[in-house]
Amino acid sequence: MKIARIRIFSIIACLWMSTSVLAQDGSSGYSWINVTSSSKIYGLGGMNVSLVDDDLLTTDQNPALLGPEMSGQVAMNYMRYMGGSNFAGVRYAHSAGERAAWSASINYFGYGSIKEATEDGTIVGTFSPADMSFGVQYSHDINDRWRGGVALRALYSHYTEYSALALAADVGVNYYDPEHDSSVSLVLANMGGQVKRFDEAYDRVPFDIRLGWSKVFGDFPIRFSVTAWNLTKWHLPYMDNGDGTEAAEPKMKDKFGSNLFRHLIFGADLVSNRNFYIGLGYNYKMRTDMSTYSRSFLSGWSLAAGLKVRNFGIGVAFAQPHTGATSLMFNLSMSLNDLLR
């Protein structure tokens, strides 16, 4: 029996709008590839391209942050979200000489069970939509302060009898000054396109330009980060529903200030102890996008914490985009090189 294409893809679009960690504006498909696999990055607002760290999963949004110092690391991530959604993945890195490194990763995005209907609305069962990405990264030290990297990903989606395949590439560069503990990065993200369509519908891969800056000021044990994204367009309007009552009239917000802050994500993390961290992030775009839902006081804010004991590390992050969506992300990492010594 033929499935109603419009109904199915509308359900998927609505599902992703409600579960998108970064609250994309919906102008293209494959927004799920922007979801970080790092609980630390998730806790710092959901995106950070300039964080120089020894955590392998923090490299997923900028391949230039990968380095030979991460050789032998294996890291796993898991997120439990609303609606029975489960996101999970694994990543491994290895050195390629003294100045280069490569990594490989697999990520799975499952959205739970959804009712399946015919074109006349008759329920005929359920199906479980899912997305997967298979990626490789390579980075190389240009000199003592500059590092460049490239990432390639195959993106596979399967929604009932329909499937699609796309290819995407990231190119990044990072400048790190260890004397002043300052890092600046530029990333051309999600360059590519769809190889196999669902049917006749074509979904664009969400190309983006991102700029990030992270800095520790003197002996103050806090690292501050600012990430600018969606730099391919200035206007990011949104509907403000006021207090959410029936008397409130929705208003379109498209002023300079709102557009500016919807391009920026702010984060701060404790760096006084290499074996422990806490982080706090604020994503204004997420908060304003969630104004169409029952937004919570915590909407737009996120929190992360992590602990490293010998060869093992664990991280956790928390966010509540709206009152019906509390999300938790977990990371587990280990160094195989240290274990084998």
Task: Tell me the DSSP string of 152-172.
Answer: EEEEEEEETTEEEEEEEEEEE
Identify which of 183, 134, 126 has the alpha carbon closest to the alpha carbon of residue 154.
134
Residue 86: alpha-carbon gap to chain centroid? 14
Which CA distances in Å does 132 have to 110, 158, 159, 329, 333?
Answer: 9, 9, 12, 18, 21
**pLDDT computed for residue 46 by the predictor:** 94
pLDDT band for position 248 (cuts 50, 70, 90): low
- Collapsed DSSP state (helix, strand, coil) of residue 289: helix
State phi, psi for 232 to the nearest 5 degrees: -80, -10
Residue indicated by tokens 């890092």: 183
**pLDDT computed for residue 24 by the predictor:** 43
pLDDT band for position 304 (cuts 50, 70, 90): very high
- Six-digit token pair at 95? 């050195």
CB count within 10 Å of CB 126 equals 11
**pLDDT computed for residue 2 by the predictor:** 41
Task: Report which residue type is found at 122.
Answer: T
Report the percentage of the chain scoring pLDDT > 70.
86
State phi, psi for 81 to the nearest 5 degrees: -125, 180
pLDDT digits (tens, 9 = 90+) for 165-224: 999 999 999 999 999 999 999 999 999 999 988 777 778 899 999 999 999 999 999 999
0.75 exceeded by the pTM?
A: yes
Contact indicator for 336, 72 with CB cutoff of 8 Å:
yes
pLDDT digits (tens, 9 = 90+) for 252-302: 888 999 999 999 999 999 998 889 999 999 999 988 887 666 566 788 899
- Six-digit token pair at 46? 């959901």
**pLDDT computed for residue 111 by the predictor:** 84
In angstroms and rounded to an integer, the radius of gyration of the C-alpha atoms of the chain is: 20
d(CA 284, CA 278) in angstroms, rounded, equals: 20
CB count within 10 Å of CB 125 equals 10
